[in-house]
């Protein structure tokens, strides 16, 4: 018997099984194969299954491909037993979601292969609050001969097609997680990674939505994987109008040998569903990540406002320069100083040094411990960057142990950012990393680590692994290292990074409460990147920094206010050269940080929604909103990309507040700098001044205009309908009530309940 139709957990508890189950009252066509000789209507290809093997008449993509001990690929796993448990089922080597016994419930269903003594256990855990179900499988070989797994996904789910569209989050370096939607057509669509990590090319998470679903309404299904390596997700529409969805380890170059008595456990898949559109779905995922994925010590905990040395310094710094940056950042209200790349011996550019972790004494003559102490003495926390999975050929480690690098004998190794990957399948390499990183952490008493990984893997081979097991063993090695370093130092805030968001996944989030979202710090592009990721991950996980403009990645100029307005919908940080800011800019940053601290809980843990700007003709405007848990405070960001002329009035529509309650809506005060107006400034002045002359340049350093501040008092019902905002500048008549957004302009509105 093959398990049918609806979710297993529902089958076990619901009286509706018969009504919900897939019917078979006729034959599905003349070429079909009947699973049961006695029942010609029993055709697997036309049925919704909970798991499916191979060679029994189901021609869809199977979640497994196993060369069984009988040397054949035909597999037919049938029900043997099940067990219901309170709580979740811990995993041996992989990270997984966790919840208290009264918050989640598990069911384990054991299937037995009909011809071989091999079992497959389907493990489900239901997380009630987050409305998420996790799934994984455990395959166990009890035959004398080994079996070979060529594919074993974590889950497979079938349902009738509802005109589904498939949404994926794709990109590359510095343009991660852009949302793409397409109608599901007959055939198979694959969302996968083959780079060795979950990748910036295709995030593992993807969604299926029914026709007409939008941000606030309609049925949407979400899938993700608690895994940081090569992933494989697919959606297939077959000839019987059935949709199969699966997700798990990528079968690409995968081959795992399972000897007698051994078992193989897949990573955990996560599924959720909402009838309240994409926002409803992301609320489920956000709650799940915040409460069931990130390490316990960091659940719900404030993330510090940090200063990072990378963009302002790259490799060019010494202790004096860093200390002056730290002093300035402290004055503006920042809480954590992060020393990025370039602090260790030989690391003056990206050609050398990875693998060696002794302090560069030219840069830190008194050692790193003393430097960290000075930072703490200023009243800031100290954080430090590592790239522990990598090695440069020009390093002492490589000279001593060339065999530590991933490479295949007889094949020239290819470089990525001038570096090779360390072989995490090798236990000696893992010990070396745990030891050297641990020593620096203890010496500096760091309370934050940025764990970087800056290249895709090539020549994937190890003397410590069978060829087809390399990719998975690498990730198991990584999890082993992370566990050994950070489970014993739970007070350290780990921010994972892989050239930005090349490894933004639930596996890393089990160790690192936040991820450096992207190397792109241009807020115009961050709208797409953070906006895309927000479908799957909460704001508390996204590192978002204010950087210098023009931006290093795009050469675009953007207002300081917009750089902040986008970054505050995440874990706020600053990554710009504070020494060259004008006094006016310094004071603006101080105000920004004070505002963030006041509303930090709402920004980091509030309920997040992406809202359309209702009346916009052009798709150049968007609104993000997050609301405090008690809904008394909402913060909305209004963002514009390209400015238009004479567009219709902008609307701020905030659904979900109490209709009869009264709210105060206020613009967060922000500054406009004189230089933004260039030559136009002469129209405002009684005398003509050179826009780039001494007087205006000096004025720009010390003075700024206050951007238009709006104040409204209105009912929740009015906000749900959409309040109309002041006009934007249209080329004529500047006054204090005109919103001067221009290209990439934005404003933040706070909406506070003042009476019921």
Contacts of 168 (CB under 8 A, 6+ apart): 179, 180, 191, 202, 203, 206
CB nearer ligand DGJ, residue 347 or residue 653: 347
Burial class (CB in 10 A: 0-12, 13-18, 19+), 577: middle
In the shown chain, the binding pattern of residues 327 to 366 toward ligand DGJ, with x for contact by CB under 6 A and - for none, equals: -------------xx-------------------------
Burial class (CB in 10 A: 0-12, 13-18, 19+), 459: middle
In the shown chain, the binding pattern of residues 493 to 532 toward ligand DGJ, with x for contact by CB under 6 A and - for none, equals: ----x-xx---------------x--x-------------
Instruction: Please state, as a whole number, how many other Cβ atoms lie within 10 Å of the Cβ of residue 293.
Output: 29
CA distance 9 to 131: 13
CA distance 323 to 650: 45
CB nearer ligand DGJ, residue 497 or residue 560: 497
Catalytic residue among 76, 423, 452, 528: 452
Q: Give the binding range for ligand DGJ (CB under 6 A) out of 358-366, 481-489, 492-500, 664-672.
A: 492-500
CB nearer ligand DGJ, residue 209 or residue 454: 454
DSSP 499-527: TBBTT-SHHHHTT-SEEE-BS---HHHHH
Catalytic residue among 519, 528, 650, 707: 519
CA distance 230 to 619: 35
User: Closest distance between ligand DGJ and the C-beta of residue 454, in Å?
Assistant: 5
Phi-psi region of 74 (alpha: psi -120 to 50; beta: other; left: phi over 0): beta
H helix or E strand, kind and range, residue 368: helix 367-377
- Kindly give the residue spans of alpha helices, DSSP state H, lying in 270-366: 277-288, 310-313, 319-332
Q: Are strands 206-209 and 242-249 parallel, antiparallel or unpaired?
A: unpaired
The only residue of 452, 469, 495, 650 in contact with ligand DGJ, by rule CB under 6 A = 452
Instruction: Please state, as a whole number, how many other Cβ atoms lie within 10 Å of the Cβ of residue 300.
Output: 12
Instruction: Please state, as a whole number, how many other Cβ atoms lie within 10 Å of the Cβ of residue 223.
Output: 24
Query: Do residues 250 and 192 lie in contact, with contact meaning Cβ atoms separated by under 8 Å?
Result: yes
- The structure tokens 């606030």 sit at 216
CA distance 530 to 593: 20
Query: Do residues 546 and 563 lie in contact, with contact meaning Cβ atoms separated by under 8 Å?
Result: yes
CB nearer ligand DGJ, residue 469 or residue 519: 519
Residue 310 as a binder of ligand DGJ (CB under 6 A): the answer is yes
Residue 450, classed as helix, strand or coil, is strand
Q: What φ, ψ does residue 312 adopt, rounded to 5°?
A: -70, -30
Residue 269 as a binder of ligand DGJ (CB under 6 A): the answer is no
User: Closest distance between ligand DGJ and the C-beta of residue 340, in Å?
Assistant: 5
Q: How many residues bind ligand DGJ (CB under 6 A)?
A: 11
CB nearer ligand DGJ, residue 210 or residue 393: 393
User: Closest distance between ligand DGJ and the C-beta of residue 518, in Å?
Assistant: 8
Instruction: Please state, as a whole number, how many other Cβ atoms lie within 10 Å of the Cβ of residue 665.
Output: 21
User: Closest distance between ligand DGJ and the C-beta of residue 481, in Å?
Assistant: 19
Residue 124 as a binder of ligand DGJ (CB under 6 A): the answer is no
- For residue 452, indicate whether it is catalytic: yes
CB nearer ligand DGJ, residue 521 or residue 746: 521
Query: Do residues 539 and 289 lie in contact, with contact meaning Cβ atoms separated by under 8 Å?
Result: no
CB nearer ligand DGJ, residue 346 or residue 468: 346
Closest-approach residue to ligand DGJ (CB): 341
The only residue of 77, 285, 317, 385 in contact with ligand DGJ, by rule CB under 6 A = 385
Q: Footprint of ligand DGJ on residues 653-692 (CB under 6 A)?
A: none
Q: What φ, ψ does residue 537 adopt, rounded to 5°?
A: -135, 145
Residue 141, classed as helix, strand or coil, is strand
In this structure, what token pair is assigned to residue 222? 């979400």
CB nearer ligand DGJ, residue 246 or residue 573: 573
User: Closest distance between ligand DGJ and the C-beta of residue 562, in Å?
Assistant: 21
User: Closest distance between ligand DGJ and the C-beta of residue 437, in Å?
Assistant: 15
Report CA Rg, the chain.
Answer: 28
CB nearer ligand DGJ, residue 516 or residue 603: 516
The only residue of 454, 641, 651, 670 in contact with ligand DGJ, by rule CB under 6 A = 454
Total residues found in the chain within this entry: 756
CB nearer ligand DGJ, residue 385 or residue 504: 385
In this structure, what token pair is assigned to residue 578? 């504070």
Contacts of 680 (CB under 8 A, 6+ apart): none
Binding site for ligand DGJ (CB under 6 A): 310, 340-341, 385, 452, 454, 497, 499-500, 516, 519
The catalytic site residues sit at: 452, 519
């Amino acid at each position: 018997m093959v398990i049918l139709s609806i979710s297993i957990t529902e089958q076990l508890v619901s009286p509706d099984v018969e009504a919900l189950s897939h019917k078979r009252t006729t034959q599905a066509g003349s070429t079909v194969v009947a699973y049961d000789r006695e029942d010609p209507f029993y055709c697997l290809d036309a049925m919704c299954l909970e798991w499916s093997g191979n060679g029994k008449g189901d021609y869809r993509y199977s979640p497994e491909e196993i060369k069984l001990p009988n040397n054949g690929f035909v597999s037919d796993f049938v029900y043997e037993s099940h067990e219901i448990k309170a709580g979740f089922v811990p995993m041996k080597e992989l990270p997984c979601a966790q919840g208290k016994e009264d918050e989640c419930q598990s069911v384990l269903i054991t299937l037995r292969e009909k011809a071989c003594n091999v079992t497959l256990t389907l493990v489900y855990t239901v997380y009630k609050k987050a409305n998420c179900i996790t799934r994984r499988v455990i395959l166990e070989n009890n035959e004398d001969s080994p079996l070979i797994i060529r594919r074993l996904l974590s889950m497979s789910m079938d349902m009738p097609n509802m005109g589904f569209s498939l949404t994926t989050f794709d990109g590359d370096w510095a343009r991660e997680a852009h949302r793409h939607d397409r109608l599901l057509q007959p055939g198979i669509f694959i969302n996968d990674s083959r780079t060795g990590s979950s990748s910036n090319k295709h995030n593992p998470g993807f969604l299926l939505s029914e026709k007409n679903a939008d941000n606030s309404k309609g049925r949407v299904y979400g899938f993700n994987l608690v895994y940081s390596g090569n992933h494989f997700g697919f959606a297939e529409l077959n000839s019987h109008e059935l949709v199969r969805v699966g997700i798990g380890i990528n079968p690409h170059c995968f081959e795992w040998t399972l000897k007698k008595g051994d078992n193989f456990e897949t990573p955990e898949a996560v599924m959720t569903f909402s009838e309240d559109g994409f926002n409803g779905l992301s609320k489920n995922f956000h709650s799940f990540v915040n409460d069931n994925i990130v390490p316990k010590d960091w659940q719900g905990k404030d993330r510090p406002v940090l200063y990072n040395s990378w963009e302002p310094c790259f490799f060019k710094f010494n202790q004096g320069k860093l200390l002056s940056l730290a002093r300035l950042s402290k004055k503006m209200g920042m809480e954590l100083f992060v020393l990025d790349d370039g602090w260790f011996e030989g690391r003056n550019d990206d050609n050398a040094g990875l693998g060696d972790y002794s302090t560069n004494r030219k840069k830190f003559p008194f050692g790193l411990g003393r430097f960290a102490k000075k930072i703490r003495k200023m009243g800031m926390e100290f954080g430090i960057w590592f790239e522990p999975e990598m090695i440069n050929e020009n390093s002492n480690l490589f000279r001593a142990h060339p065999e530590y690098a991933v490479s295949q004998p007889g094949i020239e190794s290819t470089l990525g950012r001038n570096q090779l990957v360390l072989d995490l399948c090798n236990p000696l390499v893992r010990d070396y990393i745990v030891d050297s990183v641990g020593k620096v952490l203890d010496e500096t008493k760091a309370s934050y680590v940025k764990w970087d990984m800056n290249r895709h893997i090539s020549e994937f081979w190890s003397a410590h692994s069978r060829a087809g097991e390399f990719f998975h063993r690498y990730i198991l090695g990584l999890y082993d290292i992370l566990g050994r370093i950070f489970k014993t130092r739970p007070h350290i805030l780990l921010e994972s990074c892989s050239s930005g968001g090349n490894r933004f996944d639930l596996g890393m989030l089990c160790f690192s409460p936040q991820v450096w979202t992207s190397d792109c710090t241009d807020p115009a592009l961050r709208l797409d990147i953070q906006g895309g990721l927000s479908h799957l991950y909460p704001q508390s996980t996204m590192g978002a920094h204010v950087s210098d403009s023009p931006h290093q990645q795009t050469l675009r100029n953007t207002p300081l206010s917009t750089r902040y307005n986008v970054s505050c919908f995440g874990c706020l940080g600053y990554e710009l050269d504070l020494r060259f800011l004008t006094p006016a800019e310094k004071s603006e940053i101080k105000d920004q940080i004070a505002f963030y601290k006041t509303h930090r809980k709402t920004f980091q843990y509030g309920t997040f929604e992406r809202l359309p700007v209702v009346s916009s003709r052009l798709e150049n405007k968007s609104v993000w909103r997050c609301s405090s848990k008690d809904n008394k405070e909402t913060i909305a960001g209004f963002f514009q990309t390209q400015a238009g002329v004479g567009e219709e009035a902008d609307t701020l529509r905030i659904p979900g507040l109490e209709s009869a309650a009264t709210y105060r809506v206020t613009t967060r005060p922000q500054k406009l700098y004189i230089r933004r107006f260039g030559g136009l400034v002469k129209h405002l002045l009684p005398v003509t001044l050179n826009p780039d002359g001494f007087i205006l340049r000096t004025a720009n350093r010390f003075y700024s205009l206050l951007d238009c501040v709006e104040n409204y008092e209105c009912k929740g019902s009015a906000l749900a309908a959409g309040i109309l905002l002041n006009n934007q500048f249209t080329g004529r008549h500047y006054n204090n009530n005109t919103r001067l957004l221009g290209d990439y302009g934005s404003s933040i509105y706070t909406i506070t309940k003042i009476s019921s």
